[in-house]
Structures are given as structure tokens and as C-alpha cells.
Structure 1
């Protein structure tokens, strides 16, 4: 999970607007050696760019710590292994920001180990800060005429579980600051969703509330 620090300002509303604008990112890339599907960093960038540009959010990375070592494969070849702890600072146009610290691991036989580690850290920082929705690919045997209902049912269960999970302190801080920026009352939001506190709010409620709040103008 990302370790976050915040500086108050427009960044809260900007992030909620980006969240409302982005679409799901599916597992569209295939690992050729091991055959599994994964979500590539290019897919994440392509999904995020229009929303980041529209709502004036940009991301600045800073490597906090890096570890490198050599490992040998079963065939005796040398692989370079890199672990990077990186702070990603999400800015908006008033200078306010949110920090997210994630760890990326990368392995390569040439000079790309650090690049891979940075890409992984960036991808998961974006997934966690923007709560990017995901869609699961079909089974690797998906080209056979198997019925699609089981995979859809499993996908729906995953979505329901995510929507019913409680929100963390960062999301509580985000919604409270957004409510304040709109000049609304916290009690009216809690009453609307039938909860006594933001700690009792589920992710599904929070996500819906942030989308609704994004349609309100900021208070004068």
C-alpha cells in the first residue's frame, strides 16, 4: 500500500476529478516466457493522460532508496536485480500535492533493471492513489468455446468485495477536504449514505460520493 503525505489545497478535488474520468485498465499485456497476462505501465499512462491533462495533475518521481545485486539463473547467466523505493508527488496547479511512496522490483540481463523497477512502482502508485478500476482477462484458455458466465460472476464478486471494503484514513481526509472546498456539511453526506461516520463508509459509497462532489462548484 502507498504511504501518503498531503499538503492541503486543490489537489484533493483534482484527484477526485481524475478518478471520476478514468476508465478501467485491464490485463492486456502477455508475459511471453511465463504466459500470464498483466497490466502494462503504458496502459496505465494511456488511461491516465487525458484526465491528468484536463484536471492539471502531474507526477514527479524521486528515488528514496535503491538496492542492486546480481543473481544467477539456472543456466548460469547473470541477472541484475534492482529494488527501488520511490516517492511520487502528485501536484496540481496551485502547488498542493499528495505524496505516495511505493516499492518496485525489476530484473534484467542488461541495463533495464532499474527502469523496470521504476515502472512497477509508478504503476502501483497510480493504481492506489487514483483507485483505478480493473477488469480481469478471461482464462488463458479463453479462445476455446467455454461459457463466459463464470468469469463474469467472479469479476462481479471481486467488484462487490472491493466496493464493500472500508475506506482508509487517506480517503477519509480526501472526502472531508473536498466537502469543505464545496462549502457543504459533512453531516448531510453521512445522512445521505446512512452512516454515522466516514470510518463506516464503504469504498463504493466513497467513490459514488466523490463523483457527485466533483459536480459541485467550489465555494467562493
Structure 2
């Protein structure tokens, strides 16, 4: 009786690749160096994995597809520095060029970085994990042969006290509203946070580009720093126009008003500043009107005073005449 292998071609191709890889394996020849230049261990780099698998994918007619199912970022602030950890859930699909059959696996990738390379590193780790698992790529030494020093209870306690976590979920890409942008801007100004550094951290151009997870993560970080006061609403565009017109008519420069509220433009003024500013302008205009009218009142006062003095002199002259005294 003859048996027929009806397995999809993609499984046959992957099995053939695994057979070839098992003959050579992939050595750990990439040294991991710490800041002092000391070699900590050796690993298999992503470039070595590419060099090993790329020709085999072509030889066996396999096309690789990738789909990032979920992404999370976490800011880890220690006593001396801050790192950004990226967590990915990635689905890899191996497709056969012969019959279109597919085989998919889901893996996780995690990486730490001081800048914006966390996603790229996490993808590299996810791909290496997928390939190591599906092809069972052998190594030249036992990865568990290195014995690491144990951490003391004191060091562990200190690390927990000096660490702060804030999770940023980036699978929700909805942007924040204008009110949320103003609220966040007010809190950042209150905290003295460098907004440019924050924008660079999240790789956006302005606060209005923040997604809801970015907004929530920043609020959480500010709250942990003790910045929880609600930002006062800003004046409306109509109120800004009224102020601009008032300053223009009076020939005034608003820089003192801006300095008083520590803002750079009228648009950033708090809502409460509008009424008080308009009251001050109105009071100033009334005082100016009184001053402009003051010469007229002085002249009238002088005329009344002169008339009073003339009348008094006439009365005195009449008395002098009656008493026979002449001046």
C-alpha cells in the first residue's frame, strides 16, 4: 500500500529549511559590551540570522509576511537615567510560492532604548525569536551555562524605590481634543517641563498630535511628580480679537500683560485675565477722559474764582466807602 504525503507545501519547505540549518547551526559570535568595555556575553545578531535564512527562503520558495498585532511603550526612569521599553506582539506568516499555503506563528519582542530605536530593536528580537523557535536553530554553546551574580535585597529595594513606570499604549491612534491640548499645555507650563523634549520623546511635531495614550501617560507622569492642578481655560478667539483691538486703539504693547501671566501670546492667556484686563483698560480710558477734560474745568474754576474775588473786592470797597476809608 502506497502512502501519499498530502501536507501543504509550506510545511514541506519549512521542514527542508530546518534540515539544512541543523547541519550548520548559528554560533554566538556577537559580543555584548558594557559601558566600561567589558564583554558580558556573546549572542547571535540579527544580521547573522538574515545571512543564514535569506538564501534558504529563496531556495525553498518561501515568502515571509509580518503583522504587528499590538505595541506598548513603557518609560522606565531610574535614579540616573531614563529608558524606553517597547513591547510588541508580532504575527509572522510563511507562505509557499508553489501552492500559496501558509503557516503563521505569533511571538513577542521586547527592547530597551534611550531614544527612538526601541521599535526597530523589538522587531529584531521578535524575528529572531520566531526563527529560532520555528527552525530550532542550534547553537554552539549552552545559553544557560553563564551564572549571573545574585542581586542583594538592598539593591532590589533601592531599584524599586528609584524606578517609575508609565505605560503608553499606541494601538489607539485617536488624537486629543483642543481642550485636552490646552489642559496638557497648562500643566506642562506649571511643571516647568521642556515641551520640546517631550515632543521629541513621542516623535510628534506639536501637542495637538498627541494620541490619547500619549496624553494619559503624560498626565500620569505629571501626577506622579505632584502636578495635578487643573489648568485654567484660556480665552476664546473672540476675546483675543477684542483685546488686540483695544491695545491697538490705545497704542499699547501687551508685553507687560503677557509677562504677568508668563505666556508668549494673547492666545495663551487664562480666561480670567480677559475681564480683569478689560476692566483695567476701561478704567484707564476713563482716567484719560477726565485728564483731557481737566483744562476746561480748571478754566471754569479760574473764572469762578476770579468772579468771587471781584465780588469780594467790590464788597470791601463798599465797606471802605461807608466807613470813610479808601485804599
TM-score of Structure 1 vs Structure 2, range by shorter chain: 0.5 to 0.7
Asked if structure 2 preserves the Cα contact closer than 8 Å seen for 1:78 and 1:109, the reply is yes
Q: d(CA) in 2 for partners of 1:137 and 1:129?
A: 19
Q: d(CA) in 2 for partners of 1:36 and 1:137?
A: 12
Moved more, 27-36 or 78-87: 27-36
Deviation at 1:28, TM superposition (A): 0.9
Tell me which protein shows more helix as a share of its residues.
2
Decide which of 79, 82, 87 is 1:78's aligned counterpart. Answer: 82
1:183-202 pair list within 5 angstroms: none
Tell me which protein shows more strand as a share of its residues.
1
Work out whether 1:18 is the aligned partner of 2:17: yes
Deviation at 1:137, TM superposition (A): 7.8
Aligned to 1:107: 112
Aligned to 2:181: none
1:62-211 pair list within 5 angstroms: 62-75=67-80, 77-93=81-97, 94-136=99-141
In structure 2, the CA distance between the partners of 1:24 and 1:74, relative to structure 1 (3 Å rule), is farther
> Which of structures 1 and 2 has the bigger CA Rg?
2
Deviation at 1:64, TM superposition (A): 0.7
Q: d(CA) in 2 for partners of 1:30 and 1:137?
A: 15
Q: d(CA) in 1 for partners of 2:113 and 2:78?
A: 11
Deviation at 1:63, TM superposition (A): 0.6
TM-score when normalising by structure 2: 0.38
Deviation at 1:98, TM superposition (A): 0.8
Alpha-carbon RMSD across the aligned residues, in angstroms, is 2.0
Q: Secondary structure at the match of 2:40?
A: coil
TM-score when normalising by structure 1: 0.56
Q: Deviations over 1:145-187 (max 9, x none)?
A: xxxxxxxxxxxxxxxxxxxxxxxxxxxxxxxxxxxxxxxxxxx
Decide which of 52, 55, 58 is 2:63's aligned counterpart. Answer: 58
Aligned to 1:46: 51
Return structure 1 stretches of 4+ with deviation > 2 angstroms. 137-140
1:21-32 pair list within 5 angstroms: 21-22=20-21, 23-32=24-33
Higher relative contact order (CA 8 A, sep 6+): 1
In structure 2, the CA distance between the partners of 1:80 and 1:130, relative to structure 1 (3 Å rule), is same
Deviation at 1:121, TM superposition (A): 0.7
Q: Secondary structure at the match of 1:128?
A: helix
Asked if structure 2 preserves the Cα contact closer than 8 Å seen for 1:37 and 1:137, the reply is no
Q: Secondary structure at the match of 2:116?
A: coil
Asked if structure 2 preserves the Cα contact closer than 8 Å seen for 1:28 and 1:137, the reply is no
Q: Secondary structure at the match of 1:11?
A: helix
Q: Secondary structure at the match of 1:43?
A: helix
